[in-house]
Structure 1
Amino acid sequence: MPSPIVFDGHNDVLLRIMEEGTPRAFETFLNGGAGGHIDLKRAETGGLRGGMFAIFPPSPHEADVTSRMPKGGYALPLPVPLEKAVAEVSTVHMASILFRLERMSKGRLKVCRSVADIEAAWAVGAMAAVLHIEGAEALDEDLKLLDVLHAAGLRSIGMVWSRNNIFADGVPMAFPSSPDVGGGLKEPGKRLVERCNELGILLDLSHLNEKGFWDVAELSNAPLVATHSNAHALCPVSRNLTDSQLDAIAASKGVVGLNFATAFLREDGSMDDNTPLETMLRHLDHLLGRLGEDGVALGSDFDGAMIPRAIKDAAGLPALFSAMESRGYGSDLIEKIAHKNWLGVLGRTWKTAA
């Protein structure tokens, strides 16, 4: 079968462009030759036509964690909380990068605020980019900036990365480890859930600890979504979801995006690009068994993690679909995983906007 259209639940290309910090970073993303995993040329080759473009406010001086994820286990401490003023600067900077890419692309990339926008972008061959925040440290307790960002195009937010903030606690990078680490939502976090429901902003549960997850499940009237997480039963790293969590997501008609990061796929929990596609298929099989055919999607973590060398970058996505087909996945199921399930859950979430 021809490779399907792909909508991806998570990438960190905005962070990569910000950290490169040169005009060339914009040009190479738009015209090819960029580093990392994504540029528009490789995206077109691989069928990647849209996704969540994450704003991730980085922790200053935080070293690359991949070298500290060896086989046999690890327990990395949570980074120190990020100051609001520091997070504001990087959050606004990365939002501006996405809007600048839209202007510079001359119609090849469009920032989308509805499912209709995504479909319209695809109709003209454009990349459909959805503005997402991973780590809400830039937001104030009264959520004034949330209103501004929503008006600008924000449609998805993870209240934490793997560090604590005024809203909730994140999970540390630890293997083997339960996600049941830290406390539940703080009062501002509960208000954030309510306001996101009012605005129709998707709440991303990836990186949130287990107590926070269950608080969101109790408070939210929207589908439960984890944009880039895997099955804890197969890889017992703190970042993955237990079967009980997966069952709750299924009951809410939510979605989980398969994370390509090898440390969240492998039984040994290590960052090792020599990870076969079979390992990814085992997670897909497990997720399908708990969530059903309408609850599983992709959340690659492109430009934010080490991924299997069999895929390598956005151009390599067809290798995963070929493996799915060989596994016996039919074309309808592959299309659901590739993009239809994302569009479904976005429609069920965004339509609640006030």
Structure 2
Amino acid sequence: MAEIDVFDGHNDAAQFIAEYTPSGRDFLLRSETGHLDLPRAREGGLVGGLFALHAAPEHPPENDLIITENGYEVIYAETVDPLYARQQIGAERLALESLIRRSAGQMRLAIDVDEIRAARAEGAFSVVLHMEGAEALVGEFDYLHRLHAAGLRSLGPVWSRPNIFGYGVPFAYPRSPDTGPGLTEIGKELVRTCNRLGIMIDLAHLNERGFWDVAALSDAPLVATHACAHTICPSTRNLTDRQLDAIRDSDGVIGFNLSVNDIRADGHLNDDTPLDAVVRHIDYLVTRVGEDRVALGSDFDGAVIPRGIKDASGLPHLFEAMRNSGFDSESLSKFAFDNWLRVFGLTWKNSSKLLKPSAGGGSQGQALG
């Protein structure tokens, strides 16, 4: 068993669970597909994480990858229809609720730091709801208030495509994250509303101008749940040193993304990425922003990760490599668990009590769906 308890800042597992899609995996059983299920989480020391609710495009483009002379560019579908997005977000949320009920206490929906700590102490796995891309809000915030009451504690205004709230940063290498306009006026109001509710604002997938718009508006620490350093890997998805400094100065957190094409200096999508290269990248971030402000944001089930880790069960290999590189027990605990809970504690103010759904899904679930 793993020696270090881990809270992960980002995974995409909700899109692949059996409760959401007939072809999905049973999260309670060990699988060799994908990266994350409860048995592999326990093998790797994972005690909880942010589970992303994400609306995939209804009609993705057929030829979405352009190989350039020295890199790549990914072409994404146009903005997702808001009503279609709301359907998907609602279905994923209800699927997670159903899975948690079926787990018979092995998994818990957590809405505050005390609940995460209590679940950890009692051997249960914490699920914290995150929404990646805010299309489902349909330009009004009543739905956001209802999602917050149902447990939503983290939100990324955009994914890597534009919507009415702002401009996502498209995947490309080598390129600056300064790819266009930032937040719209309603996007700025979304930031203010999240601040009032105590919903963490995720800067991952937001372009550089949008990042600075949030930094100017938000009264909460700046957080990117899954990103890396642009100085090492000049991918649009990575953060410049100036952005990292802003996260440091706000007492925020960067969740280190295990996506190999954002770790490697060459940007290659190659899982044969040595763990010493992974650790060097983490060390750069820690040196830049401090050991209190770097955590794990794996992107399990949403990325190609290093072969030496393979899936959630392989996280002890990462921590062993970090320990061999000079990280002590205290710094490892901060990276693995403590730093997320610190920033949650600074952000999740005024948390309302969860409206519990009934055993059959309940009227609250139907209203949110």
Calculate the TM-score normalised by the size of structure 1.
0.95
Match for residue 109 of structure 2 among 101, 108, 111 = 111
Q: Deviation of residue 283 (structure 1)?
A: 1.4
SS in 1 for 2:17: helix
- Which amino acid in the other structure matches residue 235 of structure 2? V
Structure 1 segments unaligned to the other structure (5+ residues)? none
Report what 1:266 is aligned to. 264
Structure 1 distance, partners of 2:173, 2:317, is: 28
Structure 1 distance, partners of 2:63, 2:278, is: 21
Structure 2 distance, partners of 1:294, 1:240, is: 19
SS in 1 for 2:303: coil
Mean CA deviation greater in 162-171 or 57-66: 57-66
Report what 2:309 is aligned to. 311
Report what 2:83 is aligned to. 85
Aligned residues: 352
* Superimposed CA distance per residue, residues 262-290 of structure 1 (whole angstroms, 9 cap, x where no aligned partner): 11111111211111112211211111111
Distance 1:306 1:65, change over 3 A: farther
Mean CA deviation greater in 55-64 or 170-179: 55-64
Structure 1 distance, partners of 2:71, 2:297, is: 24
Distance 1:260 1:327, change over 3 A: same
Q: Deviation of residue 131 (structure 1)?
A: 0.3
Structure 2 distance, partners of 1:265, 1:62, is: 26
Percent sequence identity is 51
Mean CA deviation greater in 268-277 or 153-162: 268-277
Structure 2 segments unaligned to the other structure (5+ residues)? 353-369
Report what 2:55 is aligned to. 57
Q: Deviation of residue 109 (structure 1)?
A: 0.5
Structure 2 distance, partners of 1:64, 1:147, is: 36
- Which amino acid in the other structure matches residue 224 of structure 1? L
Is the 8 Å Cα contact of residues 152 and 199 (structure 2) preserved in structure 1? yes
* Superimposed CA distance per residue, residues 111-146 of structure 1 (whole angstroms, 9 cap, x where no aligned partner): 100000101111211111100000111013221110
* Superimposed CA distance per residue, residues 152-192 of structure 1 (whole angstroms, 9 cap, x where no aligned partner): 00000001110000001000111001000110210110110
SS in 1 for 2:334: helix
Q: Deviation of residue 33 (structure 1)?
A: 2.5
Report what 1:7 is aligned to. 7
Within the alignment, does 1:76 sit opposite 2:74 as a pair? yes
Regions of 4+ moved over 4 Å = 63-71
SS in 2 for 1:31: coil
Report what 2:213 is aligned to. 215
Q: How does 1:332-351 map to 2 (within 5 A)?
A: 332-351=330-349
Distance 1:283 1:341, change over 3 A: same
Report what 1:147 is aligned to. 145
SS in 2 for 1:30: coil
Report what 1:244 is aligned to. 242
Structure 2 distance, partners of 1:46, 1:119, is: 18
Is the 8 Å Cα contact of residues 168 and 212 (structure 1) preserved in structure 2? yes
Is the 8 Å Cα contact of residues 36 and 313 (structure 1) preserved in structure 2? yes
Distance 1:65 1:155, change over 3 A: farther
Report what 2:297 is aligned to. 299
Match for residue 124 of structure 2 among 102, 105, 126 = 126
Is the 8 Å Cα contact of residues 247 and 253 (structure 2) preserved in structure 1? yes
- Which amino acid in the other structure matches residue 17 of structure 2? I
- Which amino acid in the other structure matches residue 51 of structure 1? G
Distance 1:68 1:321, change over 3 A: farther
Mean CA deviation greater in 264-273 or 313-322: 264-273
Distance 1:165 1:351, change over 3 A: same
Is the 8 Å Cα contact of residues 136 and 158 (structure 1) preserved in structure 2? yes
Structure 1 distance, partners of 2:257, 2:345, is: 22
Is the 8 Å Cα contact of residues 70 and 270 (structure 1) preserved in structure 2? no
- Which amino acid in the other structure matches residue 3 of structure 1? E
Structure 2 distance, partners of 1:254, 1:65, is: 37
* Superimposed CA distance per residue, residues 295-343 of structure 1 (whole angstroms, 9 cap, x where no aligned partner): 0000000000110010000000000000000001000000000010000
Q: Deviation of residue 233 (structure 1)?
A: 0.2
Report what 1:168 is aligned to. 166
Is the 8 Å Cα contact of residues 71 and 269 (structure 1) preserved in structure 2? no
- Which amino acid in the other structure matches residue 180 of structure 1? D
Structure 2 distance, partners of 1:271, 1:142, is: 38
Q: How does 1:268-283 map to 2 (within 5 A)?
A: 268-283=266-281
* Superimposed CA distance per residue, residues 87-119 of structure 1 (whole angstroms, 9 cap, x where no aligned partner): 011100110111111100000000100000101
Is the 8 Å Cα contact of residues 204 and 225 (structure 1) preserved in structure 2? yes
Q: Deviation of residue 353 (structure 1)?
A: 4.6
Is the 8 Å Cα contact of residues 157 and 165 (structure 2) preserved in structure 1? yes
SS in 2 for 1:315: helix
